[in-house]
Amino acid sequence: MSERYTAVAIVLHWLIAIGILALIGVGLAMTHLTLAPMLQFQLYQLHKSIGITVLLGRACKIVGCLTSRAAQCDCHGPSGKLGSAA
């Protein structure tokens, strides 16, 4: 019995992944480059906005996982309990 994730779950997964990569890039740029104070401030604001968006996307993914009837969800650990460590 093979179950696939929905198209929404797949798109959300990749959007979160792209957001995390953007967070890494912006974070490195704003801490390691010599920037004008205003540009650094704008990067901090962008970093916060992307971070909150990734957090909300992950929260939506967890809610979707908990409410779906799919047998496999990535929000459950090996024992099937939410948040269990490996």
Which residue ranges make up each domain of the chain?
17-67
Q: Mean pLDDT throughout 24-50?
A: 93
Residue 80 has pLDDT above 60, yes or no: no
pLDDT at residue 73 in the model:
58
Q: How far is CA 13 from the centre of its chain?
A: 7
Q: Which residue reads 């962008």 in tokens?
A: 46
Q: Which residues pair with 82 in a beta bridge?
A: 76
Q: pLDDT category, 1, cuts 50, 70, 90?
A: very low
Question: In angstroms, rounded to a whole number, what is the distance separating the alpha carbons of residues 70 and 59?
Answer: 17
Token output for 15: 């959007």
